[in-house]
A and B are shown apart, each in its own frame.
Chain A
Amino acid sequence: MAKVLMKGNEAIAEASIRAGGLYYFGYPITPQNEVAEYLSRRMPEVGGTFLQVESEVAVSNMLYGAAGAGVRCWTTSSSPGISLMMEALSYIAAAELPCVIVNIMRTGPGLGGILPSQGDYRQAVKGGGHGDYRSIVYAPASLQEAVELMPLAFDRADRYRTPVLVLGDGMIGQMMEPVEFREHEFPPLPPKDWATDGCKGRKPNVVNSLYLDPVKEEELNRKLVAKYEEIARKEMKSDEYGTDKPYRVLLVAYGTTARICRTAIARLAEEGIGVALFRPITLFPFPAARLKELSRPAEFLLSVEMSTGQMVEDIELAVRCRKPVHFYGRQGGLVPTPEEVVDEVKRLLAGAKGGAA
């Protein structure tokens, strides 16, 4: 299929339809409204369901209901709206229901602003809702990658019976890029024999997260942990740039900031400074093993984020604090420029040489 020029939010919407995500519930919030606007026209054409409802709280609980009934459902929102979804997300994880939630992050905390941010890293990666659970988290850095990750997100949600988050930022949602929708093939999925879709010919199914018996609740917790360990073994995804050449500094960045880092690396190369980039595509599971490997030749690592450094602790854990991990970021919707990253790398290199503390 030929490439088409699309806005990020619309590309995500189309990719989800093609991945069979035919049940969408949503609530308006900037900067992701184009998803719902696109789907409100497109879903009737493909026999899908688009429904704008009363709140993000309701949206996420509709996902619980629809996923529980065995259909492929999803939603999109932005940071404050995602916070409201955390109630049901915890229930969805506990009841082991598959669904996909896209967060086109805006600034915060609070109402924040509508400009791009990566301030929801911790909420997405460490849990977000109450209780002991995780979600698979994908972070696309281009629209092409976003349309590739949507079918994967739906597949993995079904395969592991878990919520999957796609963490984009306002840039990913709002910018236009050429995208190509390719066919994706996945191994057959297990049947949804747990779904509440009518008990004809079988015993009743119950979709539930209530465990009053502490032994049973602990069993669930351990079952979930075993699932997350399996996900960590099998589902880590990352990308790297410039690691085939000698490098003194390893940048770590995901999403939009990773693109900025690539430009900065090209400029630094012109000045003869070898810098490489490690880009996690899954934020949970965090691709720690590969990062540790790549950190060996580097003098230090630099995390570049549109937050106050929420990913730094995961990088430090990955390299077991054997290498210094620095941070450079902008907040409030300000996007780091390649020049800023170049300057920061040089400043740190000069500091490292001078032996300054």
Chain B
Amino acid sequence: MKTIFKRPEALADFPTHYCPGCTHGITHRLIAEALDELGLRERAVGIAPVGCSVLAFNYFNFDFQQAAHGRAPALATGIKRGRPDLIAFAYQGDGDLASIGMAEIIHAANRGEKFTVIFINNAIYGMTGGQMAPTTMPGQVTTTSPFGRNVEDVGYPFRMCELLASLRTPAFIERVAVHRPKYIVKARKAIVKAFRYQAENRCFGFVECLSTCPTNWGMTPHKALDWLEENMLPYYPLRNFKDPETDENPEPAQGGGDAS
């Protein structure tokens, strides 16, 4: 009998603690599929952040380290500089990466560290209970922005891909979404590519995954998918920002641009 669907070897047979409708599970699976496809599982070291995915080490079937809040890129740097033959990736949320870990991510990208970052942007702090994140949308209500994010007071949400793409160092940087099958197919391709570039020792890889948080957004899972589409896609365009294959002579990328 031909197998057409099975659990990736890189994914552990372990129930997750994620809320119903949360997209972490999709992204976990994409990572596992990518590592299996490229045959990298036995060399892989994942890094779990502080946030909802703090327990990610339980959900994958390969080596893992658990990091202090925001420091996953520093751990990954230590791992790759110590053992360049390993395949390291940091799995980080928006508070972890774009707030407390801003210095670590920018410097790792600028050094061109040969590891992969999977950046989960769901516009909110999940684990701590729905506080305003550096990526919270203008006007978005959270537990610490009860009147909506006031950009006059706290500024606009960070666009991390655009920020990192402005660096001169070659990299693979792409923003994807995981809320509809058609986007998930593209997300999978970007994740595979980022890991392939790492395996080829070519460049730093950064894949931002626009994700949902039905629980802290206060919506049904279905409504959350629509909310992402309507509110996040216009502000966070889905596209490739940098690719060593196409950037013959990479120059600082221009912000914005059409979704591709």
Are A62 and B78 in contact (CB-based, < 8 A)?
yes
Are A196 and B81 in contact (CB-based, < 8 A)?
no
Does B253 interact with chain A (Cβ within 8 Å)?
no
Which of B66, B71, B82 lies in contact with A57, CB distance below 8 A?
A: B71
Does A51 interact with chain B (Cβ within 8 Å)?
yes
Chain A 14-54: CB-based contact to B (< 8 A → 1; otherwise 0) = 00000000010100000000000000000000000101011
A68 to chain B, nearest CB (A): 5
Are B63 and A53 in contact (CB-based, < 8 A)?
no
Contacts of B81 in A (CB 8 A): 23, 25, 49, 51, 62, 66
Are A62 and B86 in contact (CB-based, < 8 A)?
no
Does B57 interact with chain A (Cβ within 8 Å)?
yes
Chain B 76-87: CB-based contact to A (< 8 A → 1; otherwise 0) = 111101110110
Which of B63, B66, B83 lies in contact with A204, CB distance below 8 A?
A: B63
Q: How far is the CA of A95 from the CA of B68 in the complex (A)?
A: 11
Does B42 interact with chain A (Cβ within 8 Å)?
yes
Does A309 interact with chain B (Cβ within 8 Å)?
no
Does B55 interact with chain A (Cβ within 8 Å)?
yes
Interface stretch (choices A206-214, A287-295, A334-342): A206-214
Are A69 and B104 in contact (CB-based, < 8 A)?
no
Contacts of B62 in A (CB 8 A): 198-199, 204
Which of A23, A58, A66, A208 lies in contact with B66, CB distance below 8 A?
A: A208
Chain A 52-66: CB-based contact to B (< 8 A → 1; otherwise 0) = 011101110111111
Chain A 66-92: CB-based contact to B (< 8 A → 1; otherwise 0) = 111111010000000000000110010
Are B79 and A196 in contact (CB-based, < 8 A)?
yes
Are B104 and A61 in contact (CB-based, < 8 A)?
yes
Q: How far is the CA of A205 from the CA of B57 in the complex (A)?
A: 9
Are A87 and B86 in contact (CB-based, < 8 A)?
no
A199 to chain B, nearest CB (A): 5
Are A65 and B66 in contact (CB-based, < 8 A)?
no
Contacts of B65 in A (CB 8 A): 64-65, 68, 196, 206-208
Q: How far is the CA of A205 from the CA of B79 in the complex (A)?
A: 14
Are A73 and B82 in contact (CB-based, < 8 A)?
yes
Instruction: Knowing A61-B68, A64-B65, A199-B63 are in contact, say whether A70-B42 is a contact too (CB < 8 A).
Output: no
Chain A residues bordering chain B, tally (CB within 8 A): 39
Q: How far is the CA of A7 from the CA of B81 in the complex (A)?
A: 28
Contacts of B41 in A (CB 8 A): 199
Does A197 interact with chain B (Cβ within 8 Å)?
yes
Instruction: Knowing A58-B103, A69-B45, A198-B45 are in contact, say whether A206-B82 is a contact too (CB < 8 A).
Output: no
Does A233 interact with chain B (Cβ within 8 Å)?
no
Contacts of A91 in B (CB 8 A): 68
Are B71 and A61 in contact (CB-based, < 8 A)?
yes
Does A200 interact with chain B (Cβ within 8 Å)?
yes
Q: How far is the CA of A111 from the CA of B45 in the complex (A)?
A: 38
Are B74 and A62 in contact (CB-based, < 8 A)?
yes
Instruction: Knowing A197-B63, A206-B65, A210-B66 are in contact, say whether A61-B44 is a contact too (CB < 8 A).
Output: no
Are B55 and A198 in contact (CB-based, < 8 A)?
no
Are B78 and A207 in contact (CB-based, < 8 A)?
no
Q: How far is the CA of A184 from the CA of B76 in the complex (A)?
A: 32
Contacts of B71 in A (CB 8 A): 57-58, 61, 64, 87-88
B80 to chain A, nearest CB (A): 8
Contacts of B76 in A (CB 8 A): 65
B249 to chain A, nearest CB (A): 27
Are B77 and A62 in contact (CB-based, < 8 A)?
yes
Residue of A nearest to B100 (CB): A57
Chain B 49-75: CB-based contact to A (< 8 A → 1; otherwise 0) = 000001101001111111110010011
Does B222 interact with chain A (Cβ within 8 Å)?
no
Does B189 interact with chain A (Cβ within 8 Å)?
no
Which of A54, A73, A95 lies in contact with B78, CB distance below 8 A?
A: A73
B147 to chain A, nearest CB (A): 33
Q: How far is the CA of A49 from the CA of B76 in the complex (A)?
A: 15
Q: How far is the CA of A196 from the CA of B48 in the complex (A)?
A: 13
Contacts of A201 in B (CB 8 A): 42
Q: How far is the CA of A54 from the CA of B103 in the complex (A)?
A: 7
Are B77 and A207 in contact (CB-based, < 8 A)?
no
Are A53 and B77 in contact (CB-based, < 8 A)?
yes
CB proximity to B under 8 Å, residues A204-245: 204-210
Residue of B nearest to A198 (CB): B43
Residue of B nearest to A55 (CB): B103
Does B223 interact with chain A (Cβ within 8 Å)?
no
A97 to chain B, nearest CB (A): 10
Q: How far is the CA of A294 from the CA of B104 in the complex (A)?
A: 50
Q: Which of B65, B71, B106 has the most CB of A within 10 A?
A: B65
Q: Which 4 A-B pairs have the closest CB atoms?
A: A65-B78, A65-B75, A61-B74, A66-B78
Residue contacts A-B, CB under 8 angstroms, 18 given? A23-B78, A49-B82, A53-B77, A53-B111, A58-B107, A62-B74, A62-B77, A64-B67, A65-B76, A65-B88, A69-B83, A88-B68, A199-B42, A204-B60, A204-B64, A206-B65, A207-B65, A210-B54
Further 9 A-B residue pairs, CB within 8 A, beyond A53-B74, A64-B71, A67-B78: A54-B107, A59-B74, A62-B78, A62-B81, A65-B65, A69-B78, A71-B83, A198-B44, A206-B63
**Which B positions have Cβ atoms within 8 angstroms of A?**
41-45, 47, 54-55, 57, 60-68, 71, 74-79, 81-83, 85-86, 88, 103-104, 106-107, 111
